[in-house]
Amino acid sequence: MNGRNEPPSSALAQPLRPPSLGRAALYAGLFVLGAVLGVAGALLQPAWFPGGLLLALAAEAGLCAGAGRAAGRRGGAVAPALGWALAVVLLTTSRPEGDFLFAAGAGSYLFLLGGIAVAVICATLAPVRQPDGGPARLRK
């Protein structure tokens, strides 16, 4: 405004825009894939107890980390983690008939808490969008 070259503003100062249609479809697909993985892990972990638990948690870590890297944004890792969490929370409720999927045992608690920890770790380590800036930025 006053003729000086001002540096570009921070990414936090930019207005929020909704994701494109393709990116929204990608996130929706990753959400559904995370929910399917949560159901599969809930069924697998009690069947083959230490190996099934480790396999279920490794599958979740692979999906969340791979989706974050493939999408190039943190949302790619968060979408399957949210799908996993929603599916697992819905499976923890008991039915009126008294049926339940998670028994009160160490394996179930390790699956629930370990899955939440894996989701948080993958979402934290996912790549973050770098704003356009000067050449002094570290990742340039």
Q: For Cα atoms 112, 75, 123, give the angle at the middle one, nearest 5 degrees.
A: 45
Q: 98-119 pLDDT, tens per residue?
A: 666 766 777 788 888 888 999 8
Alpha-carbon gap, residue 34 to 43, rounded angstroms: 14
Predicted local confidence at residue 108, as pLDDT? 80
Is residue 33's pLDDT more than 90? yes
Q: With cut-offs at 50, 70 and 90, classify the pLDDT of residue 43.
A: confident
125 or 126, which is more confident?
125
How many percent of the chain have pLDDT more than 90?
21
Is residue 4's pLDDT more than 80? no
Q: With cut-offs at 50, 70 and 90, classify the pLDDT of residue 30.
A: very high
Q: 76-103 pLDDT, tens per residue?
A: 889 999 999 999 888 887 777 766 676 6
Alpha-carbon gap, residue 66 to 46, rounded angstroms: 25
